[in-house]
Amino acid sequence: MNKYLITGFSGFVGYYFAEYLANSGENDLIMGLDIQNPNFEFNHYKNLKIHFEKTDLLSRDQVECIVNDFQPDYILHLASYSSVGLSWKDPVESFRNNTNIFLNLMDVVRKLRIPSRILSIGSSEEYGNARDEDLPLRENHKLNPVSPYAVARMAQELLSKVYINGFGMDLVLTRSFNHVGPMQRSIFVISSLAKQLVAIKKSGWTRGDIVTGDISIVRDFTDVRDVVRAYDLLLKKGETGQVYNVCSGRGFSVKDIIEIMVKQLDIEVNIKIDSRLIRPADNKKIIGSNEKIKKELGWQNRIPLEKSISDIIVYWEKSLNAESNFMPIQGESSTL
């Protein structure tokens, strides 16, 4: 029986990680921490015993008490101020939150001398702008963050190295590329587009308007159900101190995404660019190499983006019904 401490438990990835553990058939214990209550049920899993604590990870005393009582085998640190766009609006809060909650958690584990295996979730945004000849991005590529969010993620990675090399702690690190799936909030690009297009389809129109930012930017999207498999594998078998890209190895522009959705829904659209959705600086093209995690750990991304989009469309078709009980989950995954 494994004991997992999951920060950011109420979020998008936290939900799917619990689903993954439930489907694995193991009898695990989970302590979920988040500043917000989950808006999904988590007590129905037959093989999981889950306890949730509403917790501000900036409160060191609160974190220390919980970690000391629970004594986790594994810590999955998902909690973050996750939106790149929002980090431009409040850079101070973005940096303070992302670095200090991580620092609090690591130092509590160090102080208590708990032999936990920790997965520190980073972001592809750390790479910054890359030349076409440098793609796909590998883990040894020079980091060049261009947003407040990305700088905070890079700081978290550097702090991880301090706790590994200076205090002998057991951390594995990711640079996770954009991940998507059903139940993701509509502040994230694919979910936002799907919601708008499904609304057009449900209205009975064959053509409508959608609002978006820069449609030329290219990102590497991975289905969240593949992501959580990677995270559990990294917790169990990743090499201490190593950084692993979690990505699909394929790049799609926002324009590509719209075309896939329009084809699946059999509608036409007028694209309206909202300058307020365009950031002061942005990475034009981010595509990752997943060769390291595939070669060393045997992970494969199984769900193609077209299938992810289809499932997201089905989710929004259900959730936009008047009496639907479907609710988007608070998101901590990478965003455009």
Measured between alpha carbons, how far is 165 from 175 in angstroms, rounded to an integer? 19
Q: Are 311 and 226 within one domain? A: no
CATH of the domain at 210: 3.90.25.10
Q: Are 153 and 199 within one domain? A: no
State the DSSP H helix or E strand holding residue 233, giving kind and residue range, or none if neither: helix 224-237
Measured between alpha carbons, how far is 137 from 246 in angstroms, rounded to an integer? 11
Beta bridge partners of 54: 34
Q: DSSP secondary-structure letter at 50?
A: E
Q: Are 32 and 123 within one domain? A: yes
Domain count, the chain: 2
Q: Which residues fall within 8 angstroms of residue 43, CB to CB, at 6 or more apart?
A: 50
pLDDT (0 to 100) of residue 255: 95
Of 11, 10, 296, 9, the closest CA to residue 179 belongs to 11
Q: Are 256 and 155 within one domain? A: no
Q: Are 187 and 137 within one domain? A: no
Question: pLDDT confidence of 160, banded at 50, 70, 90?
Answer: very high
> Is 251 a residue whose pLDDT tops 90?
yes
Measured between alpha carbons, how far is 216 from 296 in angstroms, rounded to an integer? 34
Question: pLDDT confidence of 323, banded at 50, 70, 90?
Answer: very low
Q: Does residue 75 contact residue 118 with C-beta atoms inside 8 Å? A: yes
Q: Are 132 and 210 within one domain? A: no
| pLDDT (tens digit per residue) in 311-320 | 999 999 999 8
| pLDDT (tens digit per residue) in 44-73 | 998 999 999 999 999 999 999 999 999 999
pTM (predicted TM-score): 0.92
**What percent of the chain clears pLDDT 90, i.e. is strictly above it?**
76
Residue 141 structural domain: 3-179+222-246
Q: Count CB-CB contacts under 10 A for residue 164.
A: 20
Q: Is residue 297 part of a domain?
A: no
Q: Are 138 and 189 within one domain? A: no
CATH of the domain at 49: 3.40.50.720
Q: Is residue 30 part of a domain?
A: yes
Give me the half-sphere count of Cα atoms (radius 13 Å) on the Cβ side of residue 137: 31
